[in-house]
Amino acid sequence: MKTLASVVLAVLVPLAALASGCNKPPEPQPEKAAASASSAMAVPAMPAGHPPVTGSAMGAGAAAPAGPDDLAYDVPATWVSAPNPSPMRKATFKIPKAAGDAEDAELAVSSAGGGVEPNIKRWEQQFGDAKAKTEPRNPNGLKVTMVEIKGNVAAGGMMGMPAAAAKEHQMLLGAVVDSGDRQHFFKMVGGEKTVTAAKKDFDKFVASLRAK
């Protein structure tokens, strides 16, 4: 017969093993689950209805690239290079006068700031507020505004240049290249007959404009 001690021992051993199993620390979670939790914490929650945030959207605030600092061009064979009458000029060309006009036309090349529209408005004021005809073009990827004004040029002169007398039956052909905070100006002014005759050459000149 079993003694009382052996019976008690038979009962206590299984109970001890069960208690030991209950105190065992939990198994570690798989690394994949931990990585998922970390990834979820890396992206802040967006308000309800907010569009998805993508890499391209985050870079949308980057500044647009500016245009070229300087330009190259092909000068028509009949245009003659002349001295610059002002330090503001980058180049000056004389266009031979047509029959019926008293003097040659002149094309001035310059560069400054101020915006496209304000500078075109200033050209209109030089013609007594005559309304300019404008046309957008994109030679060689440049952003160009073509300008044409006809009328009488008021007396006066540009800053740094001698005053000019008033002239009748004048015409302006211009091209303004927008480079962001700076513009490049190609401005031909002269008698209407001369400038009209030079219009084809001016169009070819503008078509040749390119980054230098």
36-62 residue pLDDT tens: 434 434 444 544 544 444 333 333 444
User: What per-residue confidence (pLDDT) applies to 29?
Assistant: 52
Is pLDDT above 50 for 10?
yes
pLDDT of residue 40: 39
| Domain 71-211 sits in CATH 1.25.40.10 | no
Q: pLDDT-based confidence at 67, cuts 50/70/90?
A: confident
Count of CB atoms within 10 A of residue 91's CB? 14
Dihedral of CA 204/200/69/60: which sign? negative
Give the chain as a DSSP string. Answer: ---HHHHHHHHHHHHHHHHHHHTSPPPPPPHHHHHHHHHHHHSPPPPTTPPPP-HHHHTTTSPPPP--SSEE----TT-EEE--SSTTEEEEEEEPPPTT-SS-EEEEEEEE-S-HHHHHHHHHHHTTSPPPEEEEE-GGG--EEEEEEEEEEPSB--TTS--B--EEEEEEEEEEEE-SS-EEEEEEEEEHHHHHHTHHHHHHHHHT-EE-
Tokens for 161?
A: 């240049």
List pLDDT tens digits, range 159-173. Answer: 555 667 789 999 999
Q: Label residue 202 by pLDDT band (50, 70, 90).
A: very high
Model confidence pLDDT, tens digit, residues 68-110 = 889 999 999 999 999 999 999 999 999 999 999 999 999 999 9
Identify the residue whose tokens are 């051993």: 13
Q: Is the pTM of this model over 0.75?
A: no
Question: 95 and 166 in contact (C-beta within 8 Å)?
Answer: no
Please report the pLDDT score of residue 38 as a whole number: 40
Segment among 2-11, 28-37, 151-160 with least mean pLDDT: 28-37
Say if residues 93 and 79 touch (Cβ distance below 8 Å).
Answer: yes
